[in-house]
Structure 1
Amino acid sequence: MTNSLLLIAEAILYFSLMVMLFRLRGRIGIGVFMCALGVMHFLETYLASVFYVALPFGMLSPGSTVMFSGKLAMLLLLYIKEDATTVRQPIYGLLLGNALMIGLVLLLRLHELAPLPDGRVPDIGFVDQMGWLMVWGTTLLFVDAILMILLYERLGRKLRGSPLARVAIALCCVLTFDQLGFFTALHFVTGAPLEVLVGGWIAKMAASLIFSVMLFAYLRWFEKDEASAPRGLADIFQALTYRERYEALVEHVGRDGLTGLLHRGRFESDGEQAVAASLRTGRPLSLVLIDVDHFKSINDRFGHAEGDRVLRSMAMLLVGLADAGDRVFRIGGEEFAILCRGPHSLARLLGENIRQAMKDLPTADGVLLSVSGGVATVDGSTRSLSDLFELADRQLYAAKSGGRDRMVGDGALHVVERMGSRPAKTGR
């Protein structure tokens, strides 16, 4: 129990002092934080090779469990609040410093040593052992940092609303990889037993959770400003920064500012590609067009703020009901489109589910909302997105003309053909 409490206390002390230096980077410079991060590299490696404590689940070293896990958490913090070009600086510094150390030791061997008065001589073998372990550990750190950044980015697509889980999963996965890699070298150099692998891994998973919680709390309460802009391209870390910022920009500019859904421009580009792929492969593709009935009356009665709230709520509803492979767009004021990777029957079912769910959408004064929709599916007569859209649009008009609050698919076109071309949207 004492060992466990001491390890937790060491993690809290390490994290607290390091984030204090990071927080002061604007006043004292980021170099102070980086020097503090790098200066403990020797101690981490030394403790990981000779200093172990026993816990019920195995043996572990504070150097690996606390200090190295904390270092990865600090590098992730550096990436989140700065960028990958900043993360590379301490890592490249450690790599070059360790290489310099090995080169100097090789030259030091050529000296003719003068013994001290008490007869002591330097233990070059120890320096050799530590040097190669440090080089191997830093090389792993280089790979760890790249994997951590890539994984953190990928998780952002699924866990953008859960930053704690995003950080914890990234740290757990990378520390698992690192534990396997460093133990392999440690086993051959120092003869570390298997208990070190198992105990160290369990301890690193616990450390990942502890550091993740502290990192999340720090980011939430102390770091709310935006990350700095990336610089040019020169190496892998700059490329990672550039790619992340570029993907985020593309994702942002392709979305509607009010609802967060993909906008009309993306509908035209993505839709054209999807129709072409469907015609080429024969895989089904359907289009569901949805329009809120009498939406103008909501703006007139309750104001545009309430109308905007309804549109945002509807966007969340559509995303929740659509399948993972479907794409949801806002293509007009109160008009939405869903590209459904499924046959006509599934698209009709999706439309009906949306129509029913709209009745439960909360509104001011309990006003009941309804939607009308049209469904069309790629077939032999479809040549482009415009063909598919025209058919779904005619079905939507048929639903409006037939009394609203309904979904219309193939089979209702006679209504449109009798009434002529579709009028303007005003008054829907």
Structure 2
Amino acid sequence: MALTNTLLLLAQAALYFCVMMGLLRMRKQIGIGIFLCALGVMHFLETYLASVFYIELPFGIVSPGSTVLFSGKLLMILLLYIREDALTARQPIYGLLIGNFLMVGLVMILRNHETVAVTAGRLPDIAFIDEMGLLMIWGTLLLFVDAIAIIVLYEFLGDRFGRHLCLRFLACGAIVLTLDQIGFFLALHYVSGAPWQAFYGGWVAKLGATVVYTGFFVAYLKFFDHEESWISNRPLKDVFQVLTYRERYHQLLEASVRDHLTGVYHRSQYDREAPEIIRKSLEENRPLSLLVIDIDHFKQVNDRLGHQSGDEVLRSIAGLLTENLRSDDHLYRVGGEEFVLLCEHLPADGGVSLAERIRKTIERFSAMYLTEKVTVSIGISSAPADGETLDELFKAADLRLYEAKERGRNQVFGPQAAG
């Protein structure tokens, strides 16, 4: 029986890890919300199992709720932090905590109903719901502390384990889950009278779960990813600021990489980010187009109407460009009146179509809302046909931009037109 239970727990852990890690891996394609919902949806089942569902293993009695689900959830939050940031990692914790308080509030109102038995012998067990609500709130409070502790510990161990990511993962899980077992079992013993032998079995099971999940993580890195891409150490003195004030950090970071006038990314971000985008697209054999967009006769606008009006034109054009961005597009202001639009997953013909739509949109907007007629000329290049580096692609698009201006401006000139 003990062997069968052990194998079933391993199967549950494997299923949990594969599904959750798959959702985390695909978060850019399908959205992070799917991962967060899947992380939180089993919270009630996890607490219920930890309260009443126990099995026997060679070293004691354990609950799959704590062993597989809670241990897995905490380690997934750590992986989410490593892959994203503290702000994202906090979202499921806050959501669970608020949802549990909401449940308790609703139950306090529900208990005043006069219920009707629809099926003989089936009446709502409010006492059970009260017990579950108390355990879920306590468990989520512990999760909040655990999540902060495991992140701080992960950063603290960075100086000691260096680039050994999986050792940090294993040590963090073992230490924090030990502390969690103490905190949760005390509440479980108080609420439901769980026997003390369940404490030792649950603790050993959580340590075993940490080892198993670490093994799965090692296998994932070996066959599906690279450990180097996960390593991102932060100084320990900054961890609490990152955990508590991540929104402010992001605001300052965004301000430092965006053009103050138009709000789009400026030249330094273009120089830093664009080469890597091109490299990844070529490596993954994905199409990519680069559009160089220049405002026609912009100097004349400044000369006739003044720089304030010129700034308003720039803001309007940048706003229109931003509104036409796809999710895989990156917009930069690289010169006074010149913008670069880098479009992933967009072949040459798609780049020409997008450029035409942008040109026509700006022309119509100008005629309706601006005191001065404003148009743009656009040159387009595509990878790898026009080059495999940022300089090569920009040079090809810039030559086509020059050709568009030679043809009378308010024109689009791309690879197809050049051929």
Q: Do 1:77 and 1:215's aligned partners in 2 also have CA atoms closer than 8 Å?
A: no
Match for residue 193 of structure 1?
195
Tell me the secondary structure at the aligned position of residue 59 of structure 1: strand
Q: Which amino acid aligns with 1:100?
A: L
Structure 1 residues 161, 235: CA separation in 2 closer, same or farther (over 3 Å shift)?
Answer: closer
Distance 1:57 1:210 in 2: 16
Tell me the secondary structure at the aligned position of residue 35 of structure 2: helix
The range that moved more, 199-208 or 118-127, is: 118-127
Select the structure of larger CA radius of gyration: 1
Structure 1 residues 227, 155: CA separation in 2 closer, same or farther (over 3 Å shift)?
Answer: closer
Q: Do 1:47 and 1:61's aligned partners in 2 also have CA atoms closer than 8 Å?
A: yes
Q: Does 1:168 align with 2:170?
A: yes
Match for residue 179 of structure 1?
181
Distance 2:30 2:117 in 1: 44
Match for residue 338 of structure 2?
none
Shift of 1:170: 0.3
Q: Do 2:158 and 2:233's aligned partners in 1 also have CA atoms closer than 8 Å?
A: no
Distance 2:25 2:123 in 1: 44
What are the within-5 Å matches in structure 2 for residues 226-265 of structure 1? 237-239=243-245
Distance 1:217 1:210 in 2: 11
Q: Do 2:163 and 2:231's aligned partners in 1 also have CA atoms closer than 8 Å?
A: no
Q: Does 1:113 align with 2:115?
A: yes
Structure 1 residues 237, 120: CA separation in 2 closer, same or farther (over 3 Å shift)?
Answer: same
Q: Do 1:163 and 1:216's aligned partners in 2 also have CA atoms closer than 8 Å?
A: no
Q: Do 1:81 and 1:226's aligned partners in 2 also have CA atoms closer than 8 Å?
A: yes
Tell me the secondary structure at the aligned position of residue 124 of structure 2: coil
Shift of 1:115: 2.3
Match for residue 159 of structure 1?
161
> Which of the residues 13, 16, 20 maps onto 1:14?
16
Q: Does 1:134 align with 2:136?
A: yes
RMSD: 2.7
Distance 1:236 1:40 in 2: 28
Match for residue 94 of structure 2?
92
Q: Which amino acid aligns with 1:222?
A: F
Tell me the secondary structure at the aligned position of residue 207 of structure 1: helix
Match for residue 56 of structure 1?
58
Q: Which amino acid aligns with 1:30?
A: I
Shift of 1:126: 0.7
What are the within-5 Å matches in structure 2 for residues 213-292 of structure 1? 213-219=215-221, 221-224=223-226, 225=229, 237-239=243-245
Distance 1:120 1:81 in 2: 47
Match for residue 74 of structure 1?
76
Match for residue 205 of structure 1?
207
Tell me the secondary structure at the aligned position of residue 161 of structure 1: coil
Shift of 1:113: 1.6
Q: Do 2:82 and 2:232's aligned partners in 1 also have CA atoms closer than 8 Å?
A: no
Q: Do 1:83 and 1:241's aligned partners in 2 also have CA atoms closer than 8 Å?
A: no
TM-score (norm 1): 0.53
Shift of 1:61: 0.4
Structure 1 residues 6, 165: CA separation in 2 closer, same or farther (over 3 Å shift)?
Answer: same
The unaligned stretches of length 5 or more in structure 1 are 247-428
> Which of the residues 4, 10, 25 maps onto 1:23?
25
Match for residue 102 of structure 1?
104
Shift of 1:218: 2.4
Distance 1:133 1:21 in 2: 28
Shift of 1:119: 4.6
What are the within-5 Å matches in structure 2 for residues 338-349 of structure 1? none
Q: Do 2:60 and 2:201's aligned partners in 1 also have CA atoms closer than 8 Å?
A: yes
Structure 1 residues 152, 35: CA separation in 2 closer, same or farther (over 3 Å shift)?
Answer: same
Shift of 1:213: 2.0
Shift of 1:117: 4.6
Q: Which amino acid aligns with 1:237?
A: L
Distance 2:173 2:115 in 1: 46
Q: Which amino acid aligns with 1:111?
A: H
Distance 2:54 2:156 in 1: 35
Match for residue 308 of structure 1?
none
Give identity over the alignment, percent: 56
Tell me the secondary structure at the aligned position of residue 156 of structure 2: helix
Q: Which amino acid aligns with 2:162?
A: R
Distance 1:91 1:167 in 2: 20
Q: Do 1:84 and 1:241's aligned partners in 2 also have CA atoms closer than 8 Å?
A: no
Structure 1 residues 240, 195: CA separation in 2 closer, same or farther (over 3 Å shift)?
Answer: farther
Distance 1:221 1:239 in 2: 36
Match for residue 298 of structure 2?
none
Tell me the secondary structure at the aligned position of residue 112 of structure 2: coil
Tell me the secondary structure at the aligned position of residue 39 of structure 2: helix
The unaligned stretches of length 5 or more in structure 2 are 253-419
Structure 1 residues 240, 158: CA separation in 2 closer, same or farther (over 3 Å shift)?
Answer: farther
Distance 2:147 2:81 in 1: 9
Tell me the secondary structure at the aligned position of residue 54 of structure 1: strand
The count of corresponding residues between Structure 1 and Structure 2 is 243
Shift of 1:120: 2.4
Structure 1 residues 234, 62: CA separation in 2 closer, same or farther (over 3 Å shift)?
Answer: closer
TM-score (norm 2): 0.54
Match for residue 124 of structure 2?
122
Shift of 1:163: 1.4
> Which of the residues 126, 148, 151 maps onto 1:149?
151
Tell me the secondary structure at the aligned position of residue 44 of structure 1: helix
Distance 2:109 2:96 in 1: 20
CA deviation profile, 1:319-378 (whole Å, cap 9, x unmatched): xxxxxxxxxxxxxxxxxxxxxxxxxxxxxxxxxxxxxxxxxxxxxxxxxxxxxxxxxxxx
Q: Which amino acid aligns with 1:193?
A: P
Tell me the secondary structure at the aligned position of residue 133 of structure 2: helix
Shift of 1:114: 2.0
